[in-house]
Amino acid sequence: MKAAVYSEPGGPEVLHYTDVPDPVVGADDVLISVEAISVEGGDLIHRRLAPPPTQRHVVGYAAAGTVEAVGSNVVNRKVGDRVTSFDLAGSHAAMRSVRASRTWIMPAGLGMIAAAAVPISFGTAHHCLHARGKLQHAETVLILAAAGGVGLAAVQLARAAGATVIAVTSGTDRVGRLKELGANHVIDRKQEDVANTARSLTLGKGVDMVIDPVGSTLQKSLSALASEGRLIFVGNAGGGDLSVSLMPAMGENQSLFGVYMGTQLEKPEVYTAVEQMLGEAAEGKLDVVVDRVFSLEDASAAHNYAEVGNPFGRVIIRPQPR
């Protein structure tokens, strides 16, 4: 099969489009003919920093497609099922073998591209807001990197939960789009100081929760929090220093929660939440925003655009039809 692989960590240029052996289908697995791949933040970090476990390693978390074969122990999936899937590797390929428990049946009316993007983006945002952050109605949430996949999901889910949403982005052209998706206020980080503006919008109190996928902004995120507020740290998209002084947070009785979805998606409550959001996306209640679609052959360009192109929403890769 065709796949985008890398043999050493580095920039997008380390990805190569080539032939690799078809994946082996284990007893608990399903074999998926991949039709859409969502480029996730973890894919970029792994490719950039993690030595691959094998030569010609296939990176990638999230992909949707059609089941072509099922393992001997699998009873809840069948050939022909349309599914979306998650695993820690293997999405950037024409086929992937993945445990059946890491797949979701796609509801009628949901396209492959949207289905590929829901589990990580919306699953992560939901976990941040609800499982870790315990969001309450009428609280105020500050969402950094609001134009990214997780950020756009968090804006919609927080507003749906009755929160006041303050979104952070760069560029005035994005303000209207974020407000259409549910943001009450939008801060342009290139024009305004985020923490000071957030405090001004809350009449000096500070926000109840911050969702921070950037990492290098953690200290400023803490300074935007109200007393007893919660900071949810969900990545290092900024690629910078993650050190932070916790003495001010201790003095304000603030809490810092880390979220890594690689260990969470098979938990029953998380799996069910993703299943529900797939249904809501199919019904048009959630908007799965996609910025650009690339071919699998151009996976290197897709990664480059995801890293430096400042996309609004997810970047998608599509293999050629088999």
- Domains of the chain, by residue range, sit at 2-105+289-318, 124-262
What are the DSSP calls for 253-297, one per residue? T-EEEE--GGGTTTSHHHHHHHHHHHHHHHTTSS---EEEEEEGG
Per-residue pLDDT, 305: 98
75 φ/ψ angles, rounded to the nearest 5 degrees: -120, -10
Are 122 and 277 in contact by the 8 Å Cβ rule? The answer is yes
Query: Using one digit for the tens of pLDDT, what is the confidence trace for 242-252?
Result: 778 888 889 99
State the average pLDDT over residues 151-160.
98
What is the C-alpha to C-alpha distance for residues 254 and 232, in angstroms, rounded to an integer? 11
Token pair for residue 306? 């995801």
CATH number of 124-262: 3.40.50.720
Name the helix (H) or strand (E) containing 235. Answer: none
Output the pTM of the full model.
Answer: 0.95
Residues 6+ apart with CB under 8 A from 82: 64, 65, 66, 67, 105, 106, 112, 115
What is the 8-class DSSP label of residue 51? P
Per-residue pLDDT, 322: 65
Query: Using one digit for the tens of pLDDT, what is the confidence trace for 247-302?
Result: 888 999 999 999 998 888 889 999 999 999 999 999 999 999 999 999 999 999 99
Token pair for residue 44? 């970029």
The pLDDT of residue 241 is above 80: no
- pLDDT-based confidence at residue 314 (cuts at 50, 70, 90): very high
Residues 6+ apart with CB under 8 A from 184: 159, 164, 165, 166
Per-residue pLDDT, 240: 65
State the average pLDDT over residues 63-89.
98
260 φ/ψ angles, rounded to the nearest 5 degrees: -130, 110
Q: Find the largest Cα–Cα distance for the chain.
A: 60
Q: Is 251 exposed, middle or buried (0-12, 13-18, 19+ CB in 10 A)?
A: exposed
State the average pLDDT over residues 7-31.
97
- The pLDDT mean for the chain works out to 95
Per-residue pLDDT, 238: 65
Residue 161: count of CB within 10 angstroms of its CB: 17
Which superfamily does 2-105+289-318 belong to? Medium-chain alcohol dehydrogenases, catalytic domain (3.90.180.10)
Single-letter residue type at 113: I
DSSP-based three-state secondary structure for 170: coil
What is the C-alpha to C-alpha distance for residues 92 and 218, in angstroms, rounded to an integer? 31
The pLDDT of residue 172 is above 90: no
Token pair for residue 31? 């074999």
Residue 136: count of CB within 10 angstroms of its CB: 11
For 219-241, b where at least 16 C-beta lie within 10 A, e where not — what string?
bbbbbbbbeebbbbbbbbbbeee
